[in-house]
Chain A
Amino acid sequence: MSTPGVAIIGVGQTSVGEHWDRSLRDLAVEALLSAIQDAGSPAVASLFVGNMMAGELTGQEHLGALVADFAGLRGIEAVRVEAACGSGAAALRLGCMAVASGAADVVAVVGVEKMTDRPGAEVTAALAMAADGDYEARQGLSFVALNALLMRRYMHEHGVTREEFAPFCINAHRNAVGNERAMFPFTISAEDFSKAKMIADPVSLLDSSPVCDGAAAVILTSLETARAMGRRAVRVRASAIGTDTIALHDRRDILELRGAATSAARAYEQAGVTPSDIDFFEVHDAFTIMSVLSLEAAGFAKRGEGVRLGLNEEIGRTGRIPITTMGGLKARGHPVGATGMYQLVEAALQLRGEAGVNQVPNATLGMTQNIGGSGATVVTTILEALA
């Protein structure tokens, strides 16, 4: 089903980082209130909260009611949505369904994650629950290790070196410099990349997105209501979820992200567009290998050639397919359940022409891809600027 006539009329985001002085509810409420204000303070009927690990890391479940309560929205319909690292955009998908079906007029969607309260090994163990708990996580495979298995196999099959992944990290950091919300607004050199410390060989620190806190939100309504309100809107042309096996080892070909391919194909069909129509692409660069596999699955490169998009300088702001335009997961940061919403907020800012020094010239169609687990849930969203 397509999403006829759904528009984003407000966006909000906190800075991404180690917010020692702020709780999960503080972050979610800040992003949400900021989005409501940006939308002109309409009456919100429904709230969807995307989050992965609040129970494990903060000792708090039941986030729908919690966030509605502390945002002053007591009484509204509110639920949490969980799809591992894809929780944020999955929540947006449900928000779009609510508006498109006519079930709710104005819907708020917020993604939030608070990760830095717990020691590293506990966060690593919680993140591993995005994979198969019994047959991956409890065998000692961290989430980084699963990505390392993908990267090693990719290097082996396609004759690629780990240094050739550097452009994805360098591009993300370069773009983060122009994003005041980014966690790591500084540049990285090819030499920094090649000398980076290993987390799970061949995945180094500079292939990996950081553990951090943050929240981002949007307000959705129908295109008709957006026009009647006279709001500056961005249209949701497509929002599609695809799934794959929960475990890497159950896939016939681990280098083919079938969930990503399915999700992207559904999104292109909903929007009636092809990859060549997309002006920029917010990829899920939790690890450099994920950017490469996502670009291949979404049709921007053939199998084994995704890594060349970086080497040929096609992923920069003025390249053929600009990616991670505000720093991506690598340098803006990856507050897991919030990440999909950050991608959408950033894409909406690009399409409103409000991306500042990071503005992609003449951007009218932007795509985001939010990946849960090692590719088990993939949410592709296509947004369009409205004149």
Chain B
Amino acid sequence: MNAPHNWRQQSQRYLLEGVQCSACDHRMFPPRAVCTECSGTAMRAHRFCGGGEVYSYSFVYHPPAGHEEFAPYAVALVRLDEGPLVAAQLTDVSAEDVSIGLRVEMVTRRVREDSTDGVIVYGYKFRPTIPPARR
């Protein structure tokens, strides 16, 4: 991933920033110009809280180029508490502990192998929610 491409998605990948439709309050991630519910076009930024639960999951044994060093790794569709699904890797969890319904929270991790153009690509992954008492 080159520098401009990486740079312009910082708010999404570091902050989980999407949009909220001003007309119907529907929340979407990633941002888009036209609301998927009401086709409204007035949007304001919405930063998701990062909490959610596993909606579906898999373990990738044959990764695409750029992800080989992480394999095998867990991926999931996470249902965010505010509604949308997000596709992401799971981290800090062993395979036998992953299940549909598992509570997870967003963390920032390195998501790709280092490229030759000097960009270290960080982004969101999700880990099992750590109860406040154990933080």
Q: How many A residues face the partner with a CB closer than 8 A?
A: 38
Q: Which chain B residues border A121 with CB–CB below 8 Å?
A: 62-65, 68
Partner of B85, one of A125, A201, A249: A249
* A360 to B6 Cα, complex, angstroms: 53
Q: Are B87 and A139 in contact (CB under 8 A)?
A: yes
Q: A150 on the interface (CB 8 Å rule)?
A: yes
* A94 to B79 Cα, complex, angstroms: 38
Q: Are B84 and A137 in contact (CB under 8 A)?
A: no
Q: B86 on the interface (CB 8 Å rule)?
A: yes
Q: B122 on the interface (CB 8 Å rule)?
A: no
For chain A residues 152-186, which have a beta carbon within 8 Å of chain B? 152-153, 156
Q: Are A247 and B64 in contact (CB under 8 A)?
A: no
Q: Which chain A residues border B68 with CB–CB below 8 Å?
A: 121
Q: Are A200 and B1 in contact (CB under 8 A)?
A: no
Q: A22 on the interface (CB 8 Å rule)?
A: no
Q: Are B77 and A124 in contact (CB under 8 A)?
A: no
* A132 to B112 Cα, complex, angstroms: 16
Q: B11 on the interface (CB 8 Å rule)?
A: no
| Given A137-B64, A139-B111, A140-B111, A201-B70 contact (CB < 8 Å) | no
Q: Are A120 and B62 in contact (CB under 8 A)?
A: yes
Partner of B63, one of A142, A148, A245: A142
For chain A residues 21-79, which have a beta carbon within 8 Å of chain B? none
* A230 to B73 Cα, complex, angstroms: 59
Q: Are A156 and B75 in contact (CB under 8 A)?
A: no
Q: A134 on the interface (CB 8 Å rule)?
A: yes
Q: Are A139 and B89 in contact (CB under 8 A)?
A: yes
For chain A residues 294-333, which have a beta carbon within 8 Å of chain B? none
Q: Are B75 and A145 in contact (CB under 8 A)?
A: yes
Q: Which chain A residues border B62 with CB–CB below 8 Å?
A: 120-121, 124, 142, 144, 199-200
* A145 to B61 Cα, complex, angstroms: 9
CB proximity of A127 to chain B, nearest CB, Å: 8
Q: Which chain A residues border B73 with CB–CB below 8 Å?
A: 140
Q: B88 on the interface (CB 8 Å rule)?
A: yes
The residue in chain B whose Cβ has the minimal distance to the Cβ of A132 is B87
The residue in chain A whose Cβ has the minimal distance to the Cβ of B73 is A140
Q: Are B100 and A156 in contact (CB under 8 A)?
A: yes
The listed residue with most A CB atoms (<10 A of its CB), out of B12, B56, B75, B123, is B56
Q: Which chain A residues border B1 with CB–CB below 8 Å?
A: 138
Partner of B58, one of A139, A202, A245: A202
Q: A97 on the interface (CB 8 Å rule)?
A: no
The residue in chain A whose Cβ has the minimal distance to the Cβ of B80 is A249
Q: Are A199 and B55 in contact (CB under 8 A)?
A: no
Q: B107 on the interface (CB 8 Å rule)?
A: no
Q: B15 on the interface (CB 8 Å rule)?
A: no
Q: B36 on the interface (CB 8 Å rule)?
A: yes
* A119 to B90 Cα, complex, angstroms: 26
* A203 to B28 Cα, complex, angstroms: 29
Partner of A198, one of B59, B63, B89: B59
Q: Are B65 and A124 in contact (CB under 8 A)?
A: yes
Q: Which chain A residues border B86 with CB–CB below 8 Å?
A: 135, 249
Q: A149 on the interface (CB 8 Å rule)?
A: yes
Q: Enumerate the 6 nearest inter-chain pairs by beta-carbon distance, A residue then B residue, closest first.
A: A148-B58, A125-B64, A249-B85, A153-B56, A125-B65, A121-B65
Of the A-B pairs whose beta carbons lie under 8 Å apart in the complex, a sample of 15, sorted by A's number, is: A121-B65, A124-B62, A138-B1, A138-B66, A138-B111, A138-B121, A139-B111, A140-B60, A140-B63, A140-B67, A149-B76, A149-B87, A202-B58, A203-B58, A249-B84
